[in-house]
Amino acid sequence: MFRVNTRGAFLCCREAANRLPRGGGGRIIAVTSSMVAQRKPGFAAYVGSKAAVEAMVTVLAKELAGTGITANCNEAEVARVAAECPMGRIGRPHDIANVVGFLASASGEWVNGQVVRVNGGVA
């Protein structure tokens, strides 16, 4: 689980940080899970792997200071927690895409090192 979730995110973030032009701006957005905030029993490996991604991205944001590149996480819900969602449904692709689109746009340039929860209020 850590090999895919954590190492995979690390390799992607590292490559993106190396390819984005310094001073020219850019966005790195990692996807994690609302399970991190819930910390449900039985999901230790999954939650740990996603929490590691969140920690890594917040540190990356600081390491990229002054480059114009921002790094954030989008913490989305998973279908398993849909029954607990105050909105009464699981998120739709456009629910998450709208937030990712904002983070990736020029309007999102002041958002940096954050975990944005797009989960209908689950956690």
Any idea what the CATH number is for the domain that residue 89 is in? Answer: 3.40.50.720
**pTM tops 0.95, yes or no:** no
Task: Write down the pLDDT at residue 91.
Answer: 81
CB 121 within 8 A of CB 86: yes
Please tell me the total count of domains within the chain.
1
Q: pLDDT tens across 17-47, in order?
A: 999 987 788 999 999 998 898 888 999 999 9
Task: Write down the pLDDT at residue 78.
Answer: 63
The secondary element (H helix, E strand) that includes residue 29 is: strand 26-33
Is 123 part of a structural domain of the chain? no
Task: Write down the pLDDT at residue 25.
Answer: 84
- Angle at the Cα of 84 from the Cα atoms of 81 and 85, rounded to 5 degrees: 90
Is 55 part of a structural domain of the chain? yes
> Of 16, 46, 58, 84, which is the active-site residue?
46
Is 90 part of a structural domain of the chain? yes
Is 22 part of a structural domain of the chain? yes
Domain with 106 in it: 2-118
Has 46 been annotated as catalytic? Answer: yes
